[in-house]
Amino acid sequence: MLFNSWTFAVFLPVVFLLHHAGRRAAWQVGVLTAASFAFYGWERPSLLVLLVLSTAVNSFAAQALLSGTTPTGRRRAVLVGALAFNLGVLGFFKYGGMLARTFLPAALSARMPWLADIPLPVGISFYTFQGISLVMESWRAGAAGFPGLSAPHGVRQTVWFHARVWFFKAFFPQLIAGPIVKAGEFFHQIGAKRWADIDWDGAARKLVLGFFLKMVVADNLKEATATLHFPEFLELPRLNLLGLLYGFSLQILADFGGYSLIAQGLAKLFGYELPLNFNHPYLSASITEFWRRWHLSLSSWLREYLYIPLGGNRHGEARTYLNLFLVMFLGGLWHGAAWSYAAWGTAHGLLLAVERFTGMGRGRAADWPRWRRFLGIAVTFNVVSLLWLLFKLPEIGHVAAYLRCLVSNRGGIMPQPVFVIALFGLPVVLHHLWGAFSPSFPGSPAARQRLSTLAHGAMLAAILVNAGTPGDFIYFQF
């Protein structure tokens, strides 16, 4: 079910009213859990089988890991088994086809063609990472538990324990495309919610901005950047090629950033806080800063459950560079089952290593002289935008063809597509300018609030009159 569909427009108020019709936590958690599974399986009920299996395995694993009576050897076996299950399922469904196409002999592939065409369940990367977070947090906490979750005692506590785990795994605002919520960030929030405590203003602002970025900006840019596809771009003028590159860069931020804001706004309606996922990433003056602003929930997850366990920066420079490379390589593959995504992650990893080696990644870029920061923002935006080609054109040969055309194609410009990209890309630029200058905006906080309210009113009007053709969110494929 898409957030920007009429089905969801009916689904949301029904679930909201049912949720707040009861005052007990058990009722509210039950309503949201049932609604979340309905949301996920609405168009393809078969998807529920894998989500139910994943949730059940992680739920019982967490219970065993938190129990003070589980022997150490068995705890270790449960941990290894749960991680193997999560990574195995993710690997099979997400990377089985890619590995089969790459490594299987042609004769074997011909006899078993299904190996190269394994379907990808929507959202599997996100809910699998949440399952791993639950297992790891339970392993680290042991019998002490962590805020909001501890080993149950008795039938009633056991039922409530598993009810909360199923709710955590399936909570519909962030189920399909994040933000990736770590167990320690969520379980302490579970409890009875009151109508009077709803942050209506915060929810409304995030929902309006999120739907505006998706429906007005991203969906219109989607139409304008459709020719950034092989072979359509081969004959385009160089300026149009650049326009397509920057247009897709703005589109992917508006699309994914819009989804994250909608998820945060929806969660607020039910009394829950989801982590910030984007912090004006195109204001970054280095690749290091970019990863402190872009997809923050993934960056945090990779740092806590991969980079630090690998040793982080605690075992010398050479090991640190290797860890950076491995984390970004795997982070690239997480985004998609194609070697172009691995190349994208590798390129970011190499750039992070170069910045660390030269000292650019250390300290706060905000403390740089203004001219250096502006130059850094321009360079970083261009580098990041260029690397997004590996998302839009998953075949490396097509990326190479684009770069050749960028150098060798004719000059001139086809103005209409570039104008559309500039028009619908402008709100992303203004959003970043607001992020950069609003703290020092002249006038009182009340004046800034009024200006923000006017902007949100204008965005709401644009949603009603100028939405683009509806389409899936880009990160659904991951």
> 411 falls in which pLDDT band (50, 70, 90)?
confident
pLDDT at 291 over 60: yes
Task: List residues bridging with 146 in a β-sheet.
Answer: 149
- Whether 335 is a known active-site residue: answer yes
- 254 near 454, Cβ under 8 Å? no
Q: Regarding predicted confidence, which is higher, 388 or 112? A: 388
> 358 falls in which pLDDT band (50, 70, 90)?
confident
Fill in the DSSP letter of residue 270.
T
Instruction: Give the residue from 238, 237, 256, 236 showing the smallest Cα distance to 248.
Output: 256
Distances in Å between the alpha carbon of 458 and those of 38, 302, 454, 462?
Answer: 33, 38, 6, 6
Please state, in angstroms and rounded to a whole number, the distance separating the CA atoms of residues 440 and 452: 14
Q: So what's the pLDDT on residue 107?
A: 57
Please state, in angstroms and rounded to a whole number, the distance separating the CA atoms of residues 342 and 427: 31
pLDDT at 478 over 80: no
Q: Could you please report the per-residue DSSP string of 405-425?
A: HHHHS-----HHHHHHHHHHH
pLDDT at 40 over 60: yes
Read off the pTM: 0.92
> 240 falls in which pLDDT band (50, 70, 90)?
very high
Instruction: Give the residue from 218, 262, 189, 212 showing the smallest Cα distance to 460.
Output: 212
Q: So what's the pLDDT on residue 121?
A: 85
Distances in Å between the alpha carbon of 374 and those of 377, 425, 436?
Answer: 5, 20, 12
pLDDT at 209 over 70: yes
Average pLDDT over residues 249-253: 95
- 330 near 349, Cβ under 8 Å? no
Q: So what's the pLDDT on residue 277?
A: 94
Q: So what's the pLDDT on residue 467?
A: 86
Residue 408: CB partners within 8 Å, gap ≥ 6? Answer: none
pLDDT digits (tens, 9 = 90+) for 100-123: 666 666 655 566 665 656 777 888
Beta strands, E only, 128-238: none
Average pLDDT, the chain: 89
Backbone angles phi and psi of 146, in degrees to 5: -135, 165
Q: Which of 335, 348, 398, 431 is catalytic?
A: 335
Structure tokens, 374: 């502006």
Residues in the chain: 478
Average pLDDT over residues 67-93: 92
Among the residue ranges 19-33, 192-206, 257-271, 357-371, the one predicted with the least confidence is 357-371
280 — alpha (psi -120 to 50), left (phi > 0) or beta? left
> 207 falls in which pLDDT band (50, 70, 90)?
very high
